[in-house]
């Protein structure tokens, strides 16, 4: 097993707004200083949300909790905001003071932040940001990626082993064989060369 899979990741919905509201699922978030209160996120350059943050320098992070559903994660994590209005027919959000939505379904809190520094990491941008608001919504525990795999992601009913491909960057699992050569991970946007073949 890839040792990188032993690193614990949370899951978050990153939201931004330009001409339209948008969001994506990320797993790279950490608090880097408490005084001043600053956080760091890393987001793939190909994400539409990334473009919005580069333009506005503002974003919100909704922290997913154990009540989060697969449909919620699928809505924000499996399609591109360039092609889809992710907030269409979706009512489980409110607008924060910075004018950007935060998610109220399956989340326990949200953070508003303003970018103070951007670093080019190659495939991703790292945004260092100052926290401008932090709001608790409930006490339901936050989820990890491992919790998502065990308790939220739909289970297969097949008893025989099947082939899957696991992204070595974020842990996203592609079910099916073969993996298309032009496949792009819907979570971290890395290409098929970053996927490892497994039988489960």
Q: What's domain 7-146's architecture?
A: Roll (2.30)
pLDDT of residue 186: 84
Between the alpha carbon of residue 141 and those of residues 6, 41, 64, 147, the distances in Å are: 20, 21, 9, 11
pLDDT of residue 157: 60
Domain map of the chain by residue range? 7-146, 156-199
Cα Dmax for the chain = 53
| Per-residue pLDDT tens digits for 56-109 | 999 999 999 999 999 999 999 988 898 899 999 999 999 999 999 999 999 999
Topology of domain 156-199 in CATH is Rubrerythrin, domain 2 (2.20.28)
Helices (H), the chain: 48-56, 70-77, 145-147
Q: Please list the ranges in the chain whose pLDDT falls under 70.
A: 1-5, 156-160
pLDDT of residue 48: 95
Is the Cβ–Cβ distance between 111 and 69 less than 8 Å? no
**Neighbouring residues of 183: CB distance < 8 A, sequence distance ≥ 6:** 174, 191, 192, 195
pLDDT of residue 163: 87
Is the Cβ–Cβ distance between 197 and 173 less than 8 Å? no
pLDDT of residue 111: 98
Tokens for 181?
């050569």
């Amino acid at each position: 097993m890839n040792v990188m899979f032993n690193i614990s990741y949370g899951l978050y919905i990153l939201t931004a707004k330009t001409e339209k509201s948008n969001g994506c699922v990320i797993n790279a978030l950490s608090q880097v200083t408490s005084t001043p209160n600053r956080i760091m996120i890393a987001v793939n350059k190909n994400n539409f949300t990334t473009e919005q943050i580069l333009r506005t320098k503002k974003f919100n992070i909704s922290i997913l909790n154990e009540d989060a559903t697969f449909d919620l994660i699928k809505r924000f994590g499996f399609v591109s905001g360039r092609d889809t209005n992710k907030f269409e027919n979706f009512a489980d959000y409110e607008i924060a003071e910075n004018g950007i939505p935060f998610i109220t379904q399956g989340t326990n809190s949200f953070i508003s932040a303003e970018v103070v520094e951007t670093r080019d990491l190659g495939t991703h941008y790292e945004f260092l940001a100052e926290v401008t608001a932090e709001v608790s919504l409930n006490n339901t525990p936050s989820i990890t990626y491992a919790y998502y795999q065990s308790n939220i992601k739909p289970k297969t009913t097949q008893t025989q082993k099947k082939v899957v491909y696991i992204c070595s960057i974020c842990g996203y699992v592609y079910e099916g064989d073969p993996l298309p050569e032009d496949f792009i991970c819907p979570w971290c946007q890395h290409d098929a060369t970053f996927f490892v073949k497994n039988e489960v």
